[in-house]
């Protein structure tokens, strides 16, 4: 008797877990039809002497309408985001093979290949020091004082060689510029040009990322200019 009662009244941990999962799945499936069925059943079985209060009835309908509205809005937003993503991917595909100007100094170069960057100097500079770093290791590859510069956009040129004049491997690098004016030194934002190799969607930033080198990606928002 005890064995029969135990076997029929108590569940193992696995059985209880499956039962809870099934119950949750049923709850998640409750929608408009299930709600209307429950409401109709409630009205049918209410006591004639103590019927449902009109305000409570209206409140239930309002809650159901609000939940339905939120679900509909969520579905519409998801569809809109999906459509925007597809549009951006199609537009991004047109960027492959084009040159883009990127703020931040990232570019793909080296191996004796000339690379250019630029900085804006509203008041000119007594000295502009160009530095090139390996973007993977952070090691300094090249540094040169490119002399006095006048106001406006100023080009920065790197030959793809290190400070000893030897060619460095092709890869991803970063240009930085230190500007000195009237004895005061400050860092200037460098813009570089790179060819877009491919595009991909970044789920974290919810925008396109452009590949400008072997596995080096920059966000589309960092692009200042696009050229053929």
DSSP assignment of 165-203: SPBPPSEEEEEEEEEEETTEEEEE--EEEEE--EEEEET
Looking up tokens 């928002």, which residue turns up? 221
| H or E element at residue 139 | none
Kindly calculate the radius of gyration of the chain based on its CA atoms and give it in whole angstroms: 33
CATH number of 99-227: 2.60.40.4070
Q: Where in the chain is CATH 2.60.40.4070?
A: 99-227
CB-based burial label for 103 (10 Å; 0-12, 13-18, 19+): middle
- More confidently predicted of 51 and 158: 158
Confidence band for 16, pLDDT divided at 50, 70 and 90? very low
> Residue 183's pLDDT is what?
86
Q: What is the pLDDT of residues 70-85, one digit of tens each?
A: 766 777 666 665 556 6
DSSP codes, 15-63: HHHHHHHHHHHHHHH--HHHHHHHHHHHHHTSBTTBPPPHHHHHHHHHH
> Residue 159's pLDDT is what?
92
Q: Is the pLDDT of residue 133 over 90?
A: yes
Q: What is the pLDDT of residues 204-223, one digit of tens each?
A: 777 788 888 767 788 887 78
| φ, ψ (nearest 5 deg) of residue 70 | -65, -40
Looking up tokens 């993503």, which residue turns up? 85
Q: Is the pLDDT of residue 3 over 50?
A: no
Q: What percent of the chain has pLDDT over 70?
A: 62
Taking the C-alpha atoms of residue 98 and residue 120, their distance in angstroms, rounded to an integer, is 23
Mean pLDDT of 120-135: 91
């Amino acid at each position: 008797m005890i064995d029969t009662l135990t076997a029929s009244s108590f569940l193992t941990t696995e059985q209880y877990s499956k039962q809870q999962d099934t119950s949750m799945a049923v709850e998640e499936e409750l929608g408009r039809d299930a709600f209307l069925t429950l409401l109709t059943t409630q009205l049918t079985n209410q006591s004639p002497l103590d019927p449902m209060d009109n305000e409570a009835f209206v409140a239930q309908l309002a809650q159901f309408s609000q939940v339905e509205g939120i679900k509909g809005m969520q579905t519409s937003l998801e569809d809109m985001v999906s459509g925007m993503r597809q549009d951006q991917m199609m537009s991004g595909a047109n960027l492959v093979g084009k040159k883009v100007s990127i703020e931040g100094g990232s570019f793909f170069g080296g191996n004796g290949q000339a690379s250019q960057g630029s900085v804006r100097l509203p008041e000119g500079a007594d000295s502009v020091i160009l530095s090139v770093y390996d973007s993977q290791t952070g090691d300094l590859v090249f540094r040169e004082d490119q002399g006095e510069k006048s106001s406006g956009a100023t080009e920065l040129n790197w030959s793809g060689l290190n400070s000893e004049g030897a060619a460095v491997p092709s890869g991803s690098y970063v240009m930085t510029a230190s500007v000195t004016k009237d004895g005061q030194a400050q860092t200037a934002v460098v813009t570089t040009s790179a060819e877009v190799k491919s595009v991909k969607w970044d789920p974290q930033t919810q925008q396109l990322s452009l590949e400008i080198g072997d596995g080096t990606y920059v966000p589309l928002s960092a692009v200042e200019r696009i050229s053929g």
